[in-house]
Amino acid sequence: MSNHHIKVGINGKKYESVVNSRMHLADYLREDLNLTGTHLGCEHGVCGACTILLDGKPVRSCTMLAVQADGHNITTVEGLSCKNAQTGKTELSNVQKAFWECHGLQCGFCTPGMLLTAQSLLNENPDPHEKDIRESLSGNICRCTGYVQIIESVKLAAKLNRNEQKNMDQDTSTEETKELVKRGV
Ligand code: FES
Ligand code: FES
């Protein structure tokens, strides 16, 4: 068995590691990097608990080798929250806030995979129909919630994202107006 030197971007940080050719990506994240937010359920590509984003697309980290991630960018659940530029405090992302608000989790085992799949859907489709949400989450199994709250959570996350975007657009147009007024246009 051979070892490989890999370089991977994870949650905005660069990592360089030596990994065994047989090591799965999920084990690399959990055991070598201590990013234990990525959960392992079935370990053969069925339940979706181990979903991460690879270059923005959801993939099962239990069926991918760590060496295949060389040169790619990964987002795990630990990378979803972000620092508020004004307060400097770490805040939950909209999709995380929405799962909290709508009770989209019970035991939480499936939640990291659900969050990342939902995030990827919303990146591509900011206003998904319920059938798009159901289709997108169809590969993520939850044994607790019955999915109703999960679907509601994704709908709320989409709404929060859209409101945020609207506020940002308004701020930009206010700034632009101020600039034009300043220049006497
Ligand atoms: S643990 Fe990877 S799909 Fe179930
Ligand atoms: S919240 Fe328990 S498996 Fe989904």
CB 139 less than 6 A from any atom of ligand 1: no
Smallest Cα–Cα separation from 48: which of 98, 99, 125, 120?
A: 120
Taking the C-alpha atoms of residue 45 and residue 52, their distance in angstroms, rounded to an integer, is 12
In the reported structure, the alpha carbon of residue 112 is separated from the centroid of ligand 1 by a whole-number distance in angstroms of 12
Domains identified in the chain and CATH numbers: 3-79 (3.10.20.30), 82-176 (1.10.150.120)
pLDDT at 185 (0 to 100): 63
pLDDT for residue 88 is more than 90 = no
> Per residue, what are the HEC states of 32-66?
HCCCCCCCCCCCCCCCCCCEEEECCEEEECCCCEH
**Beta-bridge mates of residue 154:** none
Look at 180 and 46; give whichever has higher pLDDT: 46
In the reported structure, the alpha carbon of residue 38 is separated from the centroid of ligand 1 by a whole-number distance in angstroms of 10
In the reported structure, the alpha carbon of residue 109 is separated from the centroid of ligand 1 by a whole-number distance in angstroms of 11
pTM attached to this predicted model = 0.91
With bands split at pLDDT 50, 70 and 90, how would you rate the model's confidence at 1? confident
Tokens 């990378």, residue? 79
CB 142 less than 6 A from any atom of ligand 2: yes
pLDDT for residue 176 is more than 80 = no
CB 141 less than 6 A from any atom of ligand 2: no
List, in order, residues 6 or more apart from 89 with CB less than 8 Å away.
Answer: 83
pLDDT at 53 (0 to 100): 98
CB of 3 within 8 A of CB of 67?
Answer: no
CB of 62 within 8 A of CB of 45?
Answer: yes
Query: For residue range 91-136, what is the model confidence (pLDDT) as tens digits?
Result: 999 999 999 999 999 999 999 999 999 999 999 999 999 999 999 9
Please report which ligand is nearest the Cα atom of 51.
Answer: 1
Ligand 1 nearest atom to the CA of residue 45, by list position: 3
